[in-house]
Amino acid sequence: MVRPIGALVGLGFVAALIFSLVGTIISAVSEPTPETAAHWVEEHRVEKHVSFSFDGPLGKYDRQQLQRGYQVYSEVCSACHSMKLVAFRDLEAIGFSPAQVKAIAKSKDVPSLNPDTGEPSTRKGLPSDYFPSPFPNDIAARAANNNAVPPDQSLLAKAREGGPHYIYELLTGYQEQPAELLKHFPDAKTPEGLHYNPYFPNLNLAMAPPLAADGQVTYAPGNPKPTVDQMAKDVAAFLMWAAEPKLEQRHRTGWAAVIFLLVGTGFAYFSYKGIWADKKAKRAAAA
């Protein structure tokens, strides 16, 4: 008696699922989802193509580019964005000497406590300190950024789809809102105080264009010209390194594992052939 009831219950669930699926398909065909401004922009925007030295399974970081990217972050992005998971001493991995790291840390003021009074204070940074936040708390951050809290950039390149490619597109994508968009979607006009960017999911950012003009950052002699495009590439590469500093080691480990597995597979195959060769010969002779 229990089994027939269980079978009927199961059939009921299956019938309900089929009915729901059919209803969804009918609704999608008869009442298609109306196009939104975001969909229209995605269909009409020009895709930006950029390549980095660390792309692909053999990719490696360009230390000079990472140093330029740190300079862009330090002189532009750090005014609003923190990198609380990166310590000054980590910069040695991108080619800065210990003396340079010590000087960089000393040039920054980090939060501390007055040893005499216990009151909040600041002190000169040490290589072991982490990058300080530009704001004491989220309330201050919102007050300075049109009620938006700038995201921490430590893991930004891994937290956003597209990673450094998305960051590059965003930094170079600010533009005037197309009249054609407003013609189709009058309500999509960028609100006062926000900035239109077709590469941002919501289309409108509270952040003004951080890289506003060529030469905003002065690179050392021997480096590429600091155009907006170049600065965006460099800081995107630096943020990728900050989010995944062990990328090169991971690539080397992956290739070592692949080679080990290939060699192991070859040994296993020849061992198999050696062990079973005589048995196959005896079986063939017996047949």
CATH class of the structural domain 42-86+131-247:
mainly alpha
Q: What is the pLDDT of residue 135?
A: 93
Q: What pLDDT, on a 0 to 100 scale, did the predictor assign at position 68?
A: 98
Question: Could you tell me the residue ranges of all domains in the chain?
Answer: 42-86+131-247
Which tens digit of pLDDT belongs to each residue from 48-94?
889 999 999 999 999 999 999 999 999 999 999 999 999 999 999 99
Q: Which residues of 212-248 are buried (b: 16+ CB within 10 A; e: fewer)?
A: eeeeebebeeeeeebebbbbbbbbbbbbbbbbbeeeb
Q: What integer pLDDT is reported at residue 114 of this predicted model?
A: 80
Q: What is the pLDDT along the chain (287 residues), one digit of tens a residue?
A: 556 776 676 777 777 777 777 666 665 555 545 568 888 888 888 888 899 999 999 999 999 999 999 999 999 999 999 999 999 999 999 999 999 999 999 999 998 878 778 788 888 999 999 999 999 899 999 988 888 899 999 999 999 999 999 999 999 999 999 989 988 888 889 998 899 999 998 899 999 999 999 999 999 999 999 999 999 999 999 999 999 999 999 999 999 999 999 999 998 988 888 777 677 667 766 66
- Supply the pLDDT for residue 264: 93
CB 35 within 8 A of CB 179: no
Torsion 280-282-283-285 (CA) sign:
positive
pLDDT for residue 12: 72
pLDDT at 5: 72
Which DSSP string do the residues of 17-85 spell out, in sequence order? HHHHHHHHHHHHHHSPPPP-HHHHHHHHSPPP----TT-STT----HHHHHHHHHHHHHTGGGT---TT
State pLDDT tens for residues 17-41: 777 776 666 655 555 455 688 888 8
pLDDT for residue 2: 56
Burial of 126 (0-12, 13-18, 19+ CB in 10 A): middle
> What is the structure's pLDDT at 27?
58
Q: How many other CB atoms are found less than 10 A from the CB of residue 154?
A: 19
Q: In the 3-class helix/strand/coil scheme, how is 135-176 assigned residue by residue?
A: CCCHHHHHHHCCCCCCCCCCCHHHHCCCCHHHHHHHHHCCCC
